[in-house]
Chains A and B, each alone.
Chain A
Amino acid sequence: MKLLKLSRGRLLPALEEPLAEVSLDAWRDNPQEHAEATALTISNDTSLADVKCDLHGFSVIILDFPAFKDGRAYSQARLLRERYGYTGEIRARGDVLRDQIFFMARCGFNGFEFSGPNADEASAALEEFSFAYQPAADDASPIWRKRLDRAAAA
């Protein structure tokens, strides 16, 4: 595993700082006991609407890809960013491969526990598409807005 972080559109290897992790269940049971925790792990079958606690105290929220095919965390990441206003790091853990990173980044992930080969080449995956058709949690302007802008400029 290699930790990669997204910074200004590029994926850079990051030092693995020690995280004080706590699972959502453990933290909900006894927040005092986990007052030192800096990272929250949320399983991918958790409904974020039911979390009902302040996530902003955590510098990292870790979402899980038990298999690359299991895409629930894509929705969870978008909800954290777009609905719950979480601005810290959202980190992908589990089956995190080169060819999924583009989608993850668009959904709001900015930390990756990269599990595939050739981590140093993973950054290229972010360069493969110049545009996006739809808005998501990143700052890409959808193609339809670019069309409008272009028409307005003409």
Chain B
Amino acid sequence: MYRYDEFDATMVAERVAQFRGQVARRLSGELTEDQFKPLRLMNGLYLQLHAYMLRVAVPYGTMSSKQMRRLGEVARKYDRGYGHFTTRQNIQYNWPALVDVPDILDDLADVEMHAIQTSGNCIRNVTSDQYAGATAEEIEDPRPYCEMIRQWSTFHPEFSFLPRKFKIAVTAAEHDRAAVKVHDIGLRLYRNDEGETGFEVIVGGGLGRTPYVGHTIRKFLPKKYLLSYLEAILRVYNLEGRRDNMYKARIKILVNSEGAEKFAEMVEDEWAQIKDKDIDLPREEIARINDYFAAPAFEKLSEESAALEEKKAADKDFARWVRANTAAHKAPGYAIVNISLKPIGGIPGDISDVQMEAVADIAEKYSLDEIRATHEQNLVLPHVKKEDLYTVYSALKDADLATANIGMVSDIIACPGLDYCSLANARSIPIAQRISERFADLDSQEELGEIKIKISGCINACGHHHVGHIGILGVDKKGEEFYQVTLGGSGAEDAALGEIAGRGLSSDQVVDAVEKLVGVYRERRQDNERFLDTYRRLGAEPFKEALYEAA
């Protein structure tokens, strides 16, 4: 993975020093909260319902054991012993004291981490495929490009006060785990008919109040032009994006009001004037960054492990976990391991300091020192030998981290909701917990297969409900929490926005409603259809009928 050189280290250290000064000016009263707000927001510090919240960047979701260990220490030393992984591969601390934040940032800088641009109307942390560098599906590792974007966008002087926040995701695999079609910019690295690799550039996707699937504005961008093309998009957006209404300020509104074709023309015109102006990295720098992501030295192993097969036969829970939580690795004899942060009845994405240390220890010994965060609020050990799977499973189980439910009905994305967030209309976490408890039985979850439930506590859609196979949106109706159900969404390569099923449901009804929807699927599915496939084949009617049939 990438390592800081003295330039990177200096930039982060200077950012911490700058922020320490800003906090001191706030604490002394020189800055009012109003004046301090834009400064803290540039550094991931929000004022939430009950306390400050600090969001720490995990660039493209990649961490070392040392970094994970430090994240656990921060949780213990400065917070209440836990952290929360978000849908953007970041981690949030919910209870830091303002006076401690500069020290937290110093502790993070020691392990090459920061909170730069994790909030504010700027280019946010770049996200990617959590299986990058490990899956055989990808044509190359997308993370070097993420790192190039990270550096280019860090303290970009022109793009630090955009109309609104700006999110970029990169994938290099056919199966899209990075949700590139619902980002401000999604980049899909692929090989064209001439055998060259380059990016499909997708712009103007996004969720929130006005959800859109993105438009491809350039089918093929040669890799060497990545940064100048991004600069052209951002410049058009900075100048032309709406600023009169924050709800219409995202780039998706501009792209859709201009029309994708016209928007593409504006970008191409701008790009033509800057493409050879030194914005793009020279070959040597591209090579330098690529070198950090060279594949680790995998041992030469046979694809099958007799030890693994033996353990699977002897321990049916382990066998289930292998089926549910591991994925194919590109190197023979290795597997990708998913760590579910969705224990039955738990809070999606939460992890304790002790668990973070356990993950760090396991990754150090058994995953070539690497850990990934996923946009579905889970973790990944990307490089585990099959012969070590049982040991890894046992260690995860000891840490209460071995729930075998990846992609299943209890692997729910939920925003923090009204339990933490000052924007929320309704609670999300308790709904996720109750659904998870209703479907607790792992046998029946496995039998149901992939069902993606996503819950947002307000229209801002941080829980991605629009792209849930079943989406749940919390709304406030005269002081009471209500929930609107959407059906048929997807954030993957078959991206689609869910359709609203009908009138809102009370908090008491919503778990039953999910059960009814799943019931229709269970009765009517054919062959190996997923919930989403059955929904797409049958249409909304039978699901709506079940949902609203007379009680």
Contacts and interface: CB of A to CB of B under 8 A. Distances in A.
Interface string B133-171: 000000000000000000110111111111000000000
Interface stretch (B9-17, B191-199, B329-337, B367-375): B9-17
B11 A107 contact: no
B3 interface: no
Contacts of B288: 147
Interface stretch (B209-217, B279-287, B319-327): B279-287
A9 interface: no
Given A128-B17, A128-B18, A133-B11, A74 B158 contact: yes
A133 B279 CA distance: 10
A143 B284 CA distance: 13
B160 A146 contact: no
B157 A74 contact: yes
A53 interface: no
Given A128-B14, A132-B155, A72 B7 contact: no
A76 B161 CA distance: 13
For chain B, give the interface size range. Answer: 35 or more
B158 A78 contact: yes
B279 A70 contact: no
A110 to B, nearest CB: 14
A133 B160 contact: no
A117 interface: yes
B279 A68 contact: no
Contacts of A83: 273
Contacts of A5: none
A133 B152 contact: yes
B76 interface: no
B38 A135 contact: no
A83 to B, nearest CB: 7
Contacts, number: 98
Contact of A134 (B39, B235, B279): B279
Nearest to B152: A134
B121 interface: yes
A82 interface: yes
A148 interface: yes
B34 to A, nearest CB: 11
B285 A106 contact: no
Interface string A113-137: 0000110000000001111111110
Interface in B307-346: none
A147 B5 contact: yes
Nearest to A69: B161
Contacts of A15: none
Interface string B3-29: 001011011001101100010000000
Contacts of B18: 128-129
A101 to B, nearest CB: 11
Contact of B38 (A68, A74, A134, A146): A68
B279 A144 contact: no
Interface of A: 47, 68-72, 74-76, 78, 82-83, 99-100, 102-104, 106-107, 117-118, 128-136, 143-144, 146-148, 151
